[in-house]
Structure 1
Amino acid sequence: MFVTGLVLAAGASVRLGEAKQLLPYRGRTLLDVTLELARSCGFDQLLVALGGAANLVRDRVDLTGVQVVENPDFSTGCGSSISTAVNVVDPRADGLVLLLGDQPGVRAADVRRVASAATALGVCRYSDGLGHPLRFGREVFPELRGLHGDKAVWKLLHSGRYPVTQVPADGPVPIDVDTRADYERLLAGEAQ
């Protein structure tokens, strides 16, 4: 199988008040840590969607081995990043795995398991619910091109239009940094 990974990092970090992609984490930036995870997953193609703070991210984040996709409509939600990025997915790709650039606690083993899901949609089933990463088979790509808003992928996942595989993942859904409190929880968990 040929699998493309897409890291979403285009948000304007409105709730946080600063570029969350550049927050310090483990001696680097939050996005650096997430991209390192993505590189370790063995994707055949790796994309990162940038928008808000794109110039700062390009200056401060190691983008080696990653194809940057700029989303000029980033302020309309992550659906626009996905719809922009799906247009540059390699034509050989059987699937697209979606990772959040502000969720560094995802485990590579979980990413690989979701990437190998054989149905149209795959999602991690954590102890406290569903969470990223998500996998989309090629047959879903046309719908990805029309996504809008922040919760568009979840609406698609729950639409009933495609079979969904829930891939077991250990522990709770990893922290997704949207607010200062989320970031503090992430740092507190690292100190334990």
Structure 2
Amino acid sequence: MTDKTSNVVLVILAAGASKRMGTPKQLLAWGKDTLIVHVITQALKTEAMEVIVVLGSNFNVIHQKIKHFPVTILNNMNWHSGLGESIAFASRYIMGKATLPDGILITLADQPLVNWEYLNEMISTYSSVKHPIIATSYQKFQYGVPVLFSASYLKQLIRLNSDFGAKTLISKNEHDIWYLKPEFNNTDLDTMEDYKALHSLFFE
């Protein structure tokens, strides 16, 4: 585990209803734990000064599984408005702090291959380059989360309200972005088929 030496807040988005999955994906098994516990455990190993988990749908049952972790748990009652609203919800909480962080690192609860080493690489890159956005690069010139925004973007983040999430800001501010490509093939688990295929690669 690393020292909490950065002034970056890490936000885990975990508010969705998992409609395409058919069951709360946050509670699916991943190794000896669940997806949400795995992602939180990775986040807590980073240099982030605080870990925020945004819940919404199925709040009570998921909260019971993670309430013992040293994280800030937020209940986004408007989770049905999509990822953008969850980002805005967390950003409003951050803006209410007496002292603002230098940056906000946003990651998802359904990307189990994102490890603490990569998240730390994003934090250290942000500290060393002059770009206010550090985004994850994928194949075919695609990019997205995890993404780290300078606190100067908070006023824009709180205005997000759609299911496009951070990609809206990324696409509008390409001149501000430094891209990082992870060594792993990052995967979103949107359907049960996605989950079973990835789970079988690691645990079966």
Q: How far did residue 22 of structure 1 move? A: 0.6
Q: Number of aligned residue pairs: give it.
A: 191
Match of 2:162 among 149, 166, 175: 149
Residue identity opposite 2:36 in structure 1: L
Is 2:114 aligned against 1:114? no
In 1, Cα distance between equivalents of 2:82 and 2:12: 14
Q: How far did residue 126 of structure 1 move? A: 4.1
In 2, Cα distance between equivalents of 1:183 and 1:44: 31
Partner SS, residue 148 of structure 2: strand
Which residue pairs with 1:18 in the alignment?
23
In 1, Cα distance between equivalents of 2:138 and 2:171: 17
Q: Retained in 1: the 8 A contact 2:18–2:190?
A: yes
Q: Retained in 2: the 8 A contact 1:121–1:162?
A: no
TM-superposition CA deviations, 1:59-103 (whole Å, max 9, x none): 123541100111010001011111011122243300000010111
Which residue pairs with 1:5 in the alignment?
10
In 2, Cα distance between equivalents of 1:169 and 1:146: 29
Unaligned stretches of 5+ residues in structure 1: none
In 1, Cα distance between equivalents of 2:83 and 2:182: 24
Instruction: Report which stretch shifted further, 163-172 or 13-22.
Output: 163-172
Which residue pairs with 2:3 in the alignment?
none
Which residue pairs with 1:186 in the alignment?
198
Which residue pairs with 2:86 in the alignment?
81
Is 2:185 aligned against 1:177? no
In 2, Cα distance between equivalents of 1:121 and 1:85: 17
Unaligned stretches of 5+ residues in structure 2: 1-5
* Cα RMSD, aligned residues only: 1.8
The percent of aligned pairs where both chains have the same amino acid is: 26
Partner SS, residue 69 of structure 1: strand
TM-score when normalising by structure 2:
0.87
Q: Retained in 2: the 8 A contact 1:7–1:47?
A: yes
TM-score when normalising by structure 1:
0.92
Q: How far did residue 140 of structure 1 move? A: 0.6
Residue identity opposite 2:20 in structure 1: R
TM-superposition CA deviations, 1:19-64 (whole Å, max 9, x none): 1111111121110000000001121011000000110001123541
